[in-house]
Amino acid sequence: MPDLQKAAKQAVGEQVASMVSSGMKLGLGTGSTAALAIEALGNRIRNEGLEVCGVPTSFASERLALKWGIPLTTLDQTPVLDLAFDGADEVNSDFIVIKGRGAAQTREKIVAAQAKRFVILIDESKLVDRLGTRMPLPIEIVPMAATPVMNVLKALGGDPEIRMGMKKDGPVVSDQGLWIIDAMFDEITDPEHVNRVLLNTPGVLDHGLFIGMVTDVLVGLNDGTVRTMMAR
């Protein structure tokens, strides 16, 4: 990762950690930016005795929380969260977000839906004018539904493919034991329609479009400062 991009991710990670106060119940996102926020939160717990607990959105964020000393909880024990933070792959001007490069979008969406405040952490490169053009849309599916779901995605204008493992032969297997289809689009012009169609397709667990969920976006700029955008 280029130094400037790392600095931008670090700045938003530290900023969201500074928004946390003792007693808060948190959602802990997944990805390289959320990882820096988890580390910054761990530093505050160690240095200031901050008392918080968090619901992890993946095995990866669970392990990071353990590493940095963040007490863990579950949505069964803590169904209402004060604040969830997470990274994103794309954010448009309507605060619609695409997530899921780390294949964690299903748990990320479940956790975000329980949070009073959902803070997205990005660098400037993630701000897009046209949704779905920078990164593919990830869809988590039951393996036997791969071809029917890919046909639905083609009808929606997408170019789908099964996500393959990097250090493992065969498909990426999600934390739920399912597969991920990545669909590139020329542009997702009607995200609500794509959302409705996918959620009505048998075999689809969930997908990476987050619509109407974000409350704040923290954008790390290349000069090391952070721009805050409030969605609602």
Interface residues toward ligand 5RP, by CB under 6 A: 29-34, 86-89, 99-105, 108
Half-sphere exposure at residue 47, Cβ-oriented, CA atoms within 13 angstroms: 8
- Active site includes 14? no
CA separation for the pair 178, 144 (Å, rounded): 10
Do the Cβ atoms of 216 and 119 come closer than 8 Å?
A: yes
CA separation for the pair 88, 102 (Å, rounded): 10
User: Which of helix, strand or coil describes residue 134?
Assistant: coil
Closer to ligand 5RP by CB, 10 or 78: give it: 10
Task: Write down the least CB distance from residue 57 to ligand 5RP, Å.
Answer: 8
Task: Write down the least CB distance from residue 22 to ligand 5RP, Å.
Answer: 26
Residue among 14, 62, 90, 108 flagged as catalytic: 108
Closer to ligand 5RP by CB, 27 or 100: give it: 100
Closer to ligand 5RP by CB, 70 or 103: give it: 103
Q: How many CB atoms lie within 10 A of CB 23?
A: 10
Task: Write down the least CB distance from residue 221 to ligand 5RP, Å.
Answer: 16
Query: Active-site residue numbers?
Result: 108
